[in-house]
């Protein structure tokens, strides 16, 4: 495959760029309209509704405009997404993952270990798994591993494992999106699930992975713009930005101290044997084999494009993370300016509402008005009538959305942050749903059951699987109200103990289908045993899952290698797969019909 586009590819790229530019311009104009309406008196709740409708309409519009009628377009976006935009899509989906783990972190999870695991996972994703998947020409990580371990039992185990990974990720993203709407919009779970489900269906069913790629890129760009725009606006007002190198170190130190006291940065402990080894390494393994994100790397033109996409995604994630940190710091400083030294019964109504909702404490209590605030502070020893630094505490969720309130920027910026967060959560859910549908419609029904089926029937089957999966996942979230952190941790755990060992064994030429099944069973079994044993001893859940994941990954690889040392093993298929995957040139595997 050459790096130069053909004339037909240029025309297709131009048509695609035009439709995406139209959708992006519509989103930008709608955002500007919300800011303008806020300036002339639009109520904050109205601005929130407009922002949610903008992001929902943008994702649905992209899906409808980028509808796919070909196999390669639906499953891999025709391999025509530029690496920079594919990277933004990866960042959009991963931002949805990061928002789920917004501090304070659960007991046993070190923040430094989390950052180290994400950095190492991105390195593994960009250097190994993403270029490996794109080089193979496969449509998914399950498609790649099934080609390496082709026996029916191995294929069934691999497809089932990949589907479970993607289903848990979709549940986590949808659950977070619904919780966001419930907390910020006062929507009932049924209405939130209905709205989110319709948006997901309109994004995925017409366009498949192409709709997902451009929709996730839009969500990532919107989140970054919503976080960065208020910071730039405040910088233009000569406000000292709390940043260690490009702003005011004194303001950053003050903000860090306040965030640490409120459980934000204070939860980011140092590295230790348990904090690093049992947590950072499993996170890295799970992220390097994370099927929903890996699928976004298949949309690039070639192997190098997949690497550039992950690198671009890392840069976008760094920018989003920096903007989020600045938002939290500015929110903490603004909250001190607005509350410290004030009488508890003479605060702005927005702070009483935030306290009543559980996002802000005044004198150690959640108060809903001036009288409860005065009564709460009257019982605090040494209180002299004015709020002190120790009398106020806020969650990081409030600071993320409350920058507009603490810095008096207006409700439009709060609304746009809400829209960006909601879009990133939907991007994660959409990536998971697309992975489930691909596992069912392509990896299972086509690859295993009926290779002679016509293209239209394949697409219809996968779209039907998308609809059914969306309905089931919405029903599951409504019925069980699961914890998105636990769901996402479970998804990463399955990746690290099941998919990651198989990716390593792919290059071990003696490993065959039997070894792959034994590796999956050993990995999942060891992870379950270690996790349950540590839980019985009273260890924190995060530490238990980290240790279990690490034990499962080691057990999977070890059992696969040991089993492959038996006499009479045929190394022909493994050697051929390895040589074709490491060779220069185009896709290593036989192209799929319709691709």
Q: pLDDT tens for residues 193-237?
A: 999 999 999 999 999 999 999 999 999 999 998 888 888 888 777
Q: pLDDT tens for residues 318-346?
A: 999 999 888 888 888 888 888 899 999 89
Q: Using an 8 Å Cβ cutoff, are 333 and 242 in contact?
A: yes
Domain assignment present for residue 522? The answer is no
Among 455, 478, 497, the domain-final residue is: 497
Per DSSP, helices labelled H in 7-110 are: 7-39, 44-65, 71-76, 83-100
Residue 7 reports pLDDT greater than 60 = no
β-pair partners for 365: 362
Among 454, 476, 497, the domain-final residue is: 497
Indicate if 363 and 234 belong to the same structural domain. Answer: no
Domain assignment present for residue 556? The answer is no
Could you tell me which residue, 11 or 201, shows the higher pLDDT? 201
Indicate if 356 and 245 belong to the same structural domain. Answer: no
Indicate if 351 and 314 belong to the same structural domain. Answer: no
Indicate if 189 and 234 belong to the same structural domain. Answer: yes
Mean pLDDT of the chain: 86
pLDDT score of 40: 79
Domain assignment present for residue 571? The answer is no
Q: pLDDT tens for residues 408-430?
A: 677 778 888 899 999 999 999 99
Indicate if 58 and 127 belong to the same structural domain. Answer: yes
Backbone angles phi, psi at 361, to 5 degrees: -115, 140
High-pLDDT (> 70) share of the chain, %: 90
pLDDT score of 354: 86
Q: Using an 8 Å Cβ cutoff, are 158 and 142 in contact?
A: yes
Domain assignment present for residue 478? The answer is yes
Q: pLDDT tens for residues 344-378?
A: 989 888 889 888 888 889 998 999 899 999 999 98
How is the chain split among helix, strand and coil, in percent rounded to 5?
A: 75, 0, 25
Q: Using an 8 Å Cβ cutoff, are 487 and 172 in contact?
A: yes
Structure tokens belonging to residue 319:
């920018």
Q: Using an 8 Å Cβ cutoff, are 309 and 87 in contact?
A: yes
Number of domains, the chain: 2
Domain assignment present for residue 406? The answer is no
Q: Using an 8 Å Cβ cutoff, are 207 and 491 in contact?
A: no
Among 448, 482, 497, the domain-final residue is: 497
pLDDT score of 18: 65
pLDDT score of 445: 80
Indicate if 357 and 245 belong to the same structural domain. Answer: no
Q: pLDDT tens for residues 68-111?
A: 888 888 999 988 888 989 999 999 999 999 989 887 778 878 77
Burial class (CB in 10 A: 0-12, 13-18, 19+), 94: buried
Indicate if 370 and 435 belong to the same structural domain. Answer: no
Indicate if 240 and 267 belong to the same structural domain. Answer: yes
Indicate if 325 and 354 belong to the same structural domain. Answer: no
Structure tokens belonging to residue 151:
């026996």
For 382, the domain range is 341-387
Indicate if 155 and 276 belong to the same structural domain. Answer: yes
Q: pLDDT tens for residues 478-503?
A: 999 999 999 999 999 999 999 999 99
Indicate if 283 and 370 belong to the same structural domain. Answer: no
């Amino acid at each position: 495959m050459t790096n130069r586009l053909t004339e037909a590819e240029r025309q297709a790229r131009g048509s695609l760029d035009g439709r995406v530019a139209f959708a992006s311009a519509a989103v930008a104009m709608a955002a500007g309209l919300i800011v303008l309406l806020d300036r002339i008196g639009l109520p904050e709740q109205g601005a929130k509704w407009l922002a949610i409708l903008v992001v929902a309409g943008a994702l649905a519009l992209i899906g409808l405009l980028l509808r796919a009628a070909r196999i390669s377009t639906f499953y891999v976006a025709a391999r025509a997404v530029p690496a920079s935009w594919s990277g933004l899509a990866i960042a959009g989906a991963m931002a949805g993952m990061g928002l789920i783990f917004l501090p304070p972190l659960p007991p046993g999870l070190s923040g430094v270990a989390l950052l180290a695991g994400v950095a190492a996972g991105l390195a593994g994703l960009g250097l190994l798994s993403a270029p490996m998947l794109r080089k193979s020409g496969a449509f998914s990580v399950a498609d790649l591993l099934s080609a390496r371990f082709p026996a029916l039992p191995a294929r069934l185990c691999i497809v089932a494992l990949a589907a479970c990974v993607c289903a848990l990720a979709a549940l986590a993203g949808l659950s977070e999106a619904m919780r966001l709407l419930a907390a910020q919009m006062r929507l009932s779970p049924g209405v939130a699930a209905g709205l989110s489900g319709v948006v997901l269906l309109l994004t995925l069913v017409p366009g498949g992975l192409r709709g997902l790629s451009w929709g996730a890129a839009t969500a990532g760009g919107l989140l970054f713009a919503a976080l960065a725009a208020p910071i730039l606006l405040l910088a233009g007002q000569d406000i000292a930005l709390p940043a260690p190198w490009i702003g005011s170190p004194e303001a950053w130190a003050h903000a860090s101290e306040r965030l640490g006291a409120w459980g934000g940065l204070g939860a980011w402990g140092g590295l230790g044997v348990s904090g690093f080894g049992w947590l950072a390494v499993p996170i890295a393994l799970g992220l390097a084999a994370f099927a929903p994100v890996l699928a976004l790397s298949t949309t690039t033109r070639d192997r190098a494009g997949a690497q550039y996409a992950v690198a671009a995604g890392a840069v976008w994630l760094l920018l989003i993370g920096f903007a989020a940190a600045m938002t939290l710091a500015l929110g903490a400083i603004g909250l001190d300016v607005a509350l410290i030294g004030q009488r508890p019964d003479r605060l702005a109504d927005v702070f009483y509402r935030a306290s009543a909702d559980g996002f802000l404490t005044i004198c150690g209590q959640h108060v809903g008005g001036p009288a409860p605030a005065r009564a709460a502070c009257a019982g605090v020893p040494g209180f002299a009538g004015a709020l002190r630094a120790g009398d106020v505490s806020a969650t990081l969720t409030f600071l993320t959305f409350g920058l507009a309130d603490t810095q008096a920027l207006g409700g439009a910026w709060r609304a746009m942050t809400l829209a960006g967060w909601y879009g990133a959560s939907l991007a994660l859910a959409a990536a998971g749903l697309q992975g489930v549908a691909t596992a069912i419609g392509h990896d299972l029904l086509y690859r295993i059951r009926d290779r002679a089926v016509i293209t239209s029937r394949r697409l219809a089957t996968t779209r039907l699987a998308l609809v059914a999966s969306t309905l089931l996942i919405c029903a599951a979230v409504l019925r069980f109200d699961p914890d998105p952190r636990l769901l996402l941790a479970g998804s990463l755990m399955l990746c690290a103990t099941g998919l990651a060992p198989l990716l390593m064994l792919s290059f071990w030429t003696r490993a065959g289908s039997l070894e792959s099944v034994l590796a999956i069973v050993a990995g999942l079994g060891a992870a379950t045993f270690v996790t349950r044993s540590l839980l019985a001893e009273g260890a924190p859940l995060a530490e238990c899952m980290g240790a279990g994941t690490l034990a499962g990954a080691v057990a999977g690889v070890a059992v696969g290698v040991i089993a492959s040392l038996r006499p009479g093993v045929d190394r022909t298929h493994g050697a051929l797969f390895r040589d074709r995957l490491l060779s220069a040139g185009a896709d290593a595997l036989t192209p799929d019909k319709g691709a």
